[in-house]
Structure 1
Amino acid sequence: MTILLGIILALLIFSVIVFFHELGHFSMAKRFGVKVDEFGIGIPPRAKQVWKDSSGTVYSLNWLPIGGFVKMKGEEMNETGAHDKDFLAHKNFLEQSTVILAGVIMNFFLAFLIFSVLFMVGVEPLGINTKFQTSTETKLIPSFDEAVRIGLVKTDGIILSPLTGSIAEKSGLLDGDILLSIDGKTILSPEDMIMKVKQSTTVMNFTVQGSGGIRTLLITPEDGKIGSYVGHNVTEIRKD
């Protein structure tokens, strides 16, 4: 059943891509006065003529519901009427090129539109928490944030590790130091720290705890960086 749904979904996605591709050819052909004999959804033979517009273009549904097509006057080399104004070959080079390339351009536009919507709306990462029968019991862990949320991973603060010769190391930051606060404010995630450092151009007060006890370090970011790895301080990973 899962395989069948996958095949159906793949065909649906393919059909949408082809539809927009052919729509690009169709719209530019109409724009430049090329006669479009038929705009069809699916692959012939024709199942039904849905509509015929005033210019004579037939809009059809076809028996094999995959993709679609645009039939323009002048696509076939042996067609008569090469000197007709609505013949594709009668159009100038720029117009012919635009009609031909419009399909690809429309696909790029579709991809841009889809990704823009996804970025604006946001997409939750796919989390998997499924057990499989193997020689040893195995559990696939979802994204780290989701793992923390559902309690698979427990964290306690943010751990730092300065790069050799970096601003952070020269300021006294040690490998394994736990970040307690920046400028007196508690930092809840590595992303928050990175953003705060990027936005600062002046000296910052880092309060950290490590082998040297609790210390306050004065660190001035350079180009929005202090030269340190940053991550969650993982204290426990559930194995049940």
Structure 2
Amino acid sequence: MELAIKIFQFILSISILVILHELGHFLPAKWFKTKVEKFYLFFDPWFSVVKKKIGETEYGIGWLPFGGYVKIAGMVDESMDTEQLKQPAQPWEFRAKPAWQRLIIMLGGVTVNFFLAWIIYGCLSFFNGETVFDSTKVDAPMNYTHVAKAMGFQDGDKILKVDGKVQNNLDKLSLDILLSDDITVLRNGKEVTFHTNDDGKALAFKDANPKAFLTPRYPAVIDSIYNPKTAAAGLKVGDQVISANGKKIAYYDEFQEVVRNNAGKDLNVEVSRAGAVLPLVLQVSKEGTLGLASYKQLTKYAETKHFTFGQSIGRGFTRSIESLTYQVKQFKLIFNSKVQGYKKVGGPLAIIKNMPVDKAKDGSVSIDWTLFWSFTAMFSVWLAFLNLIPIPGLDGGHVLFTLYEMIVGKPVPQKVLENAQMVGVIFLLGLMLLIFGADIFKIITNKF
């Protein structure tokens, strides 16, 4: 059921983004009286799942879920249909329109994608507000794992600035550190600035969650128990673990470390309950877990900010820019020879695996619509950026050639456009196969 919900969310999100993106091309094409031959969700090589012709346009759904397209008459596109281009240009063809009209048609898709992200983020801010985990409220030193220490952190450090900027949002702090060059901390009463070591970042990307190297510390007070064996051993919600196998426990992360190091063994713990100290013996699973949690204490660091309608408009724009900025910055990790962030890059299968779901205590799974729309907004602004990259086959390639024509005063030769489009399509198809193949390889090698 969980996989089915994730697949449904992925298809729904992609369908919304593709249809609106292509509508961004379709509407200005129609406004400028340009013939649109096809409007497709997904690609349709050899056959379509559904198709119907209305007026001069064939609307349909393809079987290959890698995007979608509108086929505009008189335009060199991914269909590589050049027969029509051998004939004299007709008034209703794309190539017969003024350069400024063609530019608007080509920019329509990315414009819609950006405005869609803006609208979604604005609505989320207005209807849900924004919950921020404020690091200034953390009264204990951060928990720095071996990964964080490899980057340059030391126990007791208080983070002051990341690349010269204050970041009090715990949700963004870890990512900012991964993307940073320099960190300023308060260490032994003195301000110290150090360069974040790429070796530490590389270690972070070997973990399932690259941002888990930095967490706030809080007492080991148990607030949820999922494992019946742990409950049967006498542990109760509200107990505070004060020692484990003779080691004093001050924070929950210390307790987690002892539990992981005793996978498959019995663990002797002492808990404080109603002023009394009780000894218990807990059985740790082979995976190094006890089936309990202590995350509700994090709520004391949380603050929800609400926005008026007017404020949400500005906030929606800011969140769109922030989302895009973070994604662009991540290229420095992807192409870093030490960090090798490209190993974490995934295709459709990886996206489906990481689609957000809402898991209830009874094990049932449903759609978390807030996370779904957040993902859709993030993906929308990302698609806008990717489509603007000046590669033939993408909107950015068409924009580049059109701008050249507007600056130089004459169009790029038709043969050059055809050859460039062919190279671009081959490159993009090869890239798609590589990414999709990497997903399959990870599944086969159990590294997904």
**How high is the TM-score relative to the length of structure 2?**
0.29
From 47, 50, 61, the equivalent of 1:48 is 50
- How far the C-alpha of 1:97 sits from its partner, in A, is 0.8
Aligned residue for 1:86, secondary structure, equals: coil
User: Highest Rg: 1 or 2?
Assistant: 1
Q: Tell me the equivalent position of 1:11.
A: 11
Note if 1:144 corresponds to 2:327: no
For the residues of structure 1 that align with 2:129 and 2:52, how far apart are their CA atoms?
37
Within-5 A mapping of 1:161-180: none
What is the identity, as a one-letter code, of the residue corresponding to 2:103?
Answer: S
Higher fraction of helix: 2
Instruction: Give CA-to-partner distance per residue, 1:152-194, whole Å, 9 cap, x none.
Output: xxxxxxxxxxxxxxxxxxxxxxxxxxxxxxxxxxxxx9x9xxx
What is the identity, as a one-letter code, of the residue corresponding to 1:91?
Answer: K
The alpha-carbon distance between structure 1 residues 58 and 144, as it changes in their structure 2 partners (threshold 3 A), is: same
For the residues of structure 2 that align with 1:142 and 1:18, how far apart are their CA atoms?
41
Residues 50 and 61 in structure 1, CA contact (< 8 A), matched pair in contact too? no
Residues 20 and 107 in structure 1, CA contact (< 8 A), matched pair in contact too? yes
Q: Tell me the equivalent position of 1:86.
A: 92
What is the identity, as a one-letter code, of the residue corresponding to 1:95?
Answer: Q
Q: Tell me the equivalent position of 1:20.
A: 20
Q: Tell me the equivalent position of 2:123.
A: 117
Note if 1:103 corresponds to 2:109: yes
The alpha-carbon distance between structure 1 residues 47 and 26, as it changes in their structure 2 partners (threshold 3 A), is: same
**How high is the TM-score relative to the length of structure 1?**
0.51
Aligned residue for 2:62, secondary structure, equals: strand
CA RMSD of aligned residues (A): 3.3
Q: Tell me the equivalent position of 1:38.
A: 38
Residues 37 and 72 in structure 1, CA contact (< 8 A), matched pair in contact too? yes
For the residues of structure 1 that align with 2:43 and 2:224, how far apart are their CA atoms?
41
Q: Tell me the equivalent position of 2:62.
A: 62
Instruction: Give CA-to-partner distance per residue, 1:106-160, whole Å, 9 cap, x none.
Output: 001111111121122125859xx7546762654222652698xxxxxxxxxxxxx
The alpha-carbon distance between structure 1 residues 57 and 131, as it changes in their structure 2 partners (threshold 3 A), is: same
Within-5 A mapping of 1:217-232: none
Q: Tell me the equivalent position of 1:29.
A: 29
Residues 41 and 66 in structure 1, CA contact (< 8 A), matched pair in contact too? no
For the residues of structure 2 that align with 1:16 and 1:82, how far apart are their CA atoms?
37
What is the identity, as a one-letter code, of the residue corresponding to 2:2?
Answer: T
Aligned residue for 1:34, secondary structure, equals: coil
Q: Tell me the equivalent position of 1:235.
A: none
The alpha-carbon distance between structure 1 residues 140 and 40, as it changes in their structure 2 partners (threshold 3 A), is: same
Residues 81 and 87 in structure 1, CA contact (< 8 A), matched pair in contact too? no
Q: Tell me the equivalent position of 2:354.
A: none
Instruction: Give CA-to-partner distance per residue, 1:216-239, whole Å, 9 cap, x none.
Output: xxxxxxxxxxxxxxxxxxxxxxxx
- Length, aligned pairs only: 146
For the residues of structure 1 that align with 2:114 and 2:43, how far apart are their CA atoms?
23
The alpha-carbon distance between structure 1 residues 66 and 124, as it changes in their structure 2 partners (threshold 3 A), is: same
User: Quick one: higher RCO (CA 8 Å, sep 6+), 1 or 2?
Assistant: 2
The alpha-carbon distance between structure 1 residues 19 and 106, as it changes in their structure 2 partners (threshold 3 A), is: same
- How far the C-alpha of 1:88 sits from its partner, in A, is 0.8
For the residues of structure 2 that align with 1:143 and 1:40, how far apart are their CA atoms?
46
Residues 33 and 86 in structure 1, CA contact (< 8 A), matched pair in contact too? yes
- How far the C-alpha of 1:3 sits from its partner, in A, is 4.0
- How far the C-alpha of 1:72 sits from its partner, in A, is 0.6
- How far the C-alpha of 1:42 sits from its partner, in A, is 2.6
Identity %: 28
The alpha-carbon distance between structure 1 residues 121 and 37, as it changes in their structure 2 partners (threshold 3 A), is: same
Higher fraction of strand: 1
